[in-house]
Amino acid sequence: MKLNDDIILDIRRDYVLGKLRDGERIDGRAFDEYREIKIETGIIEKAEGSALVSIGNTQVIVGIKMQPGEPFPDTPDKGIIITNAELVPLASPTFEPGPPDENSVELSRVVDRGIRESEAVDLSKLVIEEGEKVWLVFIDIHALDDDGNLMDASSLAAISALLTTTVPAERFDIGEDFPLPVRDLPVSVTTRIIGKYGIVDPCKDEEYASKNFITITTDSEDNIVAMQKSGSYLMGEEMLMEIMETSIRKARDNRKLLKEV
């Protein structure tokens, strides 16, 4: 069975690479073109904020929960963001049950870093009592269907959920509810490196063709706030600059969808 699986993967890789050599992708998209993106908010009734994002057939849902807690000793004047990702077999046969693996850890870190480094949430406004009590923001990412590019779907779902989050102060008897202070819209763009080609928003078959990818997150001012490179490959300066420029441009497009939220 393992041999058959390897043969199928080799056939998929050859097909994807053959198309790229002809200047095409297997689904007819341009190299820098996303599949259709859909964003729905208010999906989880009991969450403080939530969003469902679809990129093609890939679906990710994010729920936001908040509660008071102690601040970190080195940041007594700021609230706390904690991001977790769950990849269950329901979303893909390649996912296994059990504790978070390296893929889910990497996913949560990339999403968390983009939000944190862009200072998307004004954590200074989530202080209840400095040095004693602050708001904890839990971002829970759940992959529902993995047809490629979970990174960007999760990033969009996380910031969309944060945009619709209400701080539940009344529930904990510490004042009135208020909107979560979101002040920036970080957007990640993932490029899969297949041979000498870079393609934006890879579908699952394109991901099977290569383990090499780079995710670049930019803020609303087009500043690069986070970058994650995975896979053992060397990238030339010219290709990196081209990917950076494309990531900034595509992030602008996707940010327009967030502004509609």
47's tokens: 């969450």
d(CA 136, CA 38): 28
Residue with more model confidence, 182 or 90: 182
- What secondary structure letter does DSSP report for 182? B
Q: What is the CA radius of gyration of the chain?
A: 19
Tell me the pLDDT band of 222, cut-offs 50, 70 and 90.
Answer: very high
d(CA 181, CA 166): 9
**Residues β-bridged to residue 133:** 129
Q: For residue 3, is pLDDT > 60? A: no
Taking alpha carbons only, the member of 143, 157, 180, 174 closest to residue 66 is 180
Q: What's the confidence (pLDDT) of residue 233? A: 79
Q: For residue 207, is pLDDT > 80? A: yes
Q: For residue 83, is pLDDT > 80? A: yes
Q: For residue 92, is pLDDT > 90? A: no
DSSP per residue over 111-126, as a string? Answer: HHHHHHHTT-B-GGGG
Cβ-contact 103, 207 below 8 angstroms:
no
Q: What is 2-260's CATH superfamily?
A: GHMP Kinase, N-terminal domain (3.30.230.70)
Question: Where are the chain's structural domains?
Answer: 2-260
Q: What's the confidence (pLDDT) of residue 7? A: 75
**Residues β-bridged to residue 182:** 121
Tell me the pLDDT band of 1, cut-offs 50, 70 and 90.
Answer: very low
- On average, the pLDDT of the chain sits at 92
d(CA 137, CA 48): 10
Q: What's the confidence (pLDDT) of residue 232? A: 78
* pTM recorded for the entire structure: 0.91
Per-residue pLDDT tens digits for 36-49: 999 999 999 999 99
Q: What's the confidence (pLDDT) of residue 144? A: 94
